[in-house]
Amino acid sequence: MPRREMEGYEPRPRNDAYTVLMVISLLAMIAACAVLFFELRKYPPDQLLAPESYAPKPAPGRPVR
The 8-class DSSP code of residue 46 comes to G
pTM of the model: 0.53
| C-alpha distance from residue 26 to each of 32, 51, 56 (Å) | 10, 28, 38
**What would the mean pLDDT of 47-51 be, rounded to a whole number?**
67
Q: How many CA atoms lie within 13 A of 47 on its CB side?
A: 5
For residue range 20-48, what is the model confidence (pLDDT) as tens digits? Answer: 999 999 999 999 999 999 998 888 877 76
Q: H/E element holding 30?
A: helix 17-40
